[in-house]
Amino acid sequence: MARLEIEFSKKAVKHYKKLPHNYKTFVDLAFLRLADGMPTDLKPIQGEENTYRIRIGKYRILFEIIQSTVLVMRIGSRGDVYK
């Protein structure tokens, strides 16, 4: 499988910068696995086509897959990311 390209929304970059350092390491690892096509704890978002989430502790990464590109839309705590 070809490596997926990962793009970030402005909001996702802003939230990534605010993450605690210890979570950034796990988030970075999740992005690497996602790019290689081997995500962990991937679940589709109900009512949203091609939209998924990855869970990392109390944080969630919401993203959309469009052909060979992953658009990371939001990164945040469970309570805030779905709003």
Instruction: Identify the band that residue 26 occupies on the pLDDT scale cut at 50, 70 and 90.
Output: very high
Contacts of 39 (CB under 8 A, 6+ apart): 30, 33, 52, 54
Domains in the chain with CATH codes: 5-77 (3.30.2310.20)
**Which residue is associated with the tokens 């696995």?**
33
Q: Of 36-40, 52-56, 63-67, 77-81, which gets the smallest average pLDDT?
A: 36-40
Q: Please check the confidence at residue 61 and state whether its pLDDT lies above 90.
A: yes
Confidence at residue 38, expressed as pLDDT on a 0 to 100 scale: 74
CB 75 within 8 A of CB 16: yes
* pLDDT, average across residues 11-22: 94
Two tokens at 29? Answer: 């690892």
Q: Give the pLDDT confidence score for residue 1 in this predicted structure.
A: 58
